[in-house]
Amino acid sequence: MPNDEFRDVASDAFRDVAMTVIYGVDTCEDTTRARARFDAAGRAFRYVRLDVDTATRQRLHDLGLVSTPVLVTPAGTVSVEPSDDELDVIIAATA
């Protein structure tokens, strides 16, 4: 779990106040699973493909985040490779 300093940086630099942002790649099963769970719940999200947006990928890597997906909620909560239970909590919080 990221420390508070990271959360501040992530919430400022990577969040969208309107919806959860999912940073990932199409070839990642966990990214696909997270997107599918948001879709199934009817929740809006923004997907940032890190294989396309290499500048954002580098910024995340500079913070030590090399695994995908990275989810950042409108409140600034950061979750890396969330489990199904963690995704359920995130999705419920965006209702």
pLDDT in tens, 3-54: 444 455 555 678 898 999 999 999 999 999 999 999 999 999 999 999 999 9
Per-residue pLDDT averaged across 60-72, rounded? 91
Is the omega angle on the peptide bond into residue 82 within 30 degrees of 0, that is, cis?
Answer: no
- Can you give the pLDDT at residue 15? 86
Side-chain-facing half-sphere of 40: CA atoms under 13 Å: 9
Token duo for residue 78: 């950061």
Q: Which CATH number fits domain 4-93: 3.40.33.10, 2.60.40.10, 3.40.30.10, 3.90.1170.50?
A: 3.40.30.10
Per-domain boundaries in the chain: 4-93
Nearest to 71 by CA among 28, 17, 34, 25: 34
| Order of strands, sheet of 45-49, starting from the edge strand that comes earlier in the sequence | 45-49, 20-24, 70-72, 78-80
Residue 7 amino acid letter: R
pTM above 0.85, yes or no: yes
Task: Output Rg (C-alpha) for the chain, integer angstroms.
Answer: 12
